[in-house]
């Protein structure tokens, strides 16, 4: 059976077959919400983690408690050998994966003049190289009668570049390019799309007040909640013509028009 129904007939029937989904960085935060929502909608879920094994096991147990199927896959996505084992482990434990959500991300502040080669390389490995090779491995393992879907969690900042978080921004910008070129290269067998969240949860460097100021400064004066992110994932799953595109869930943050060169200068 194909993972997507034939593209004829009632559009309401274009719903991704509930198969095996792999979610990287699924032990915490956005990844946890995505894994639980996929499971709630009928997918078996491979919960990937690196160091957060205990939290990942809790996510998997919550899925099983709801009568779903789940397993935990541990891998350092900066290690090519570990990345190469992921899809084989998932197939052995749950079956052939047809959905991959590349959610895991390294987000460390750096700047051009103080750039550290090791931190730069790790950003590229985790945020770009691992997602590309996991997508390749998913596509290689698909049976002839199945279709696949890759969703890359990117960032709205790839449409609004800044020099802060230099390595992260370069890697995510390259992942946005990879999303488009993977969509070209893997069509028609595999769709590849992106989600670009804006301020969804406070990061580890932000106080609640910092996060509130950030969300109140975007055009809509609010960012997305976790429910919006998971709803966007489901939209991509259930829209078989959607590929090579990114949904920015950011309250308009990427529009960035209220800047000092525009506001208060008589324009």
Q: For residue 260, how many other CB atoms are within 10 A of its CB?
A: 7
User: Which of 28-32, 104-108, 188-192, 195-199 has the weakest average pLDDT?
Assistant: 195-199
Tens-place pLDDT, residues 111-170: 999 999 999 999 999 999 999 999 999 999 999 999 999 999 999 889 989 898 999 999
pLDDT reading at 55 higher than 80: yes
When the candidates are 3.40.50.720, 3.40.449.10, 2.40.50.100, 3.40.50.300, the CATH number that belongs to 17-199+226-251 is: 3.40.50.720
Give the model's confidence band at 265: pLDDT under 50 very low, under 70 low, under 90 confident, else very high. very low
Domain parsing of the chain, residue ranges = 17-199+226-251
Distance CA 68, CA 62 (A): 9
- What average pLDDT does the segment 227-251 reach? 94
pLDDT reading at 254 higher than 90: no
- The model carries a pTM of 0.88
């Amino acid at each position: 059976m194909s993972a997507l129904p034939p593209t004829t007939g009632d559009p309401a029937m274009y719903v991704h077959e509930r198969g095996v989904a792999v979610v990287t960085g699924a032990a915490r935060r956005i990844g946890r919400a995505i894994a639980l929502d996929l499971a709630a909608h009928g997918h078996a879920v491979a919960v990937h983690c690196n160091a957060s094994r205990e939290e990942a096991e809790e996510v998997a147990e919550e899925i099983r408690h709801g009568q779903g199927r789940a397993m935990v896959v541990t891998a350092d996505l900066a290690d090519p050998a570990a990345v190469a084992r992921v899809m084989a482990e998932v197939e052995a434990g749950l079956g052939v994966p047809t959905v991959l959500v590349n959610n895991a991300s390294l987000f460390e502040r750096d700047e051009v003049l103080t750039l550290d080669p090791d931190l730069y390389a790790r950003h590229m490995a985790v945020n770009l190289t691992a997602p590309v090779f996991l997508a390749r491995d998913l596509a290689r393992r698909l049976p002839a009668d199945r279709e696949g879907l890759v969703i890359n969690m990117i960032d709205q900042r790839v449409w609004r570049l800044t020099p802060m978080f230099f390595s992260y921004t370069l890697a995510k910008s390259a992942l946005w390019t990879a999303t488009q070129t993977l969509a070209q290269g893997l069509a028609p067998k595999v769709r590849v799309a992106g989600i670009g969240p804006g301020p969804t949860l406070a990061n580890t460097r932000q106080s609640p007040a910092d996060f509130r100021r950030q969300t109140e400064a975007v055009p809509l004066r609010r960012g997305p909640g976790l429910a919006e992110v998971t709803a966007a994932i489901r939209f991509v799953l259930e829209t078989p013509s959607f590929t090579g595109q990114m949904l920015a869930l950011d309250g308009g943050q990427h529009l960035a028009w209220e800047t000092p060169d525009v506001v208060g200068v008589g324009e």
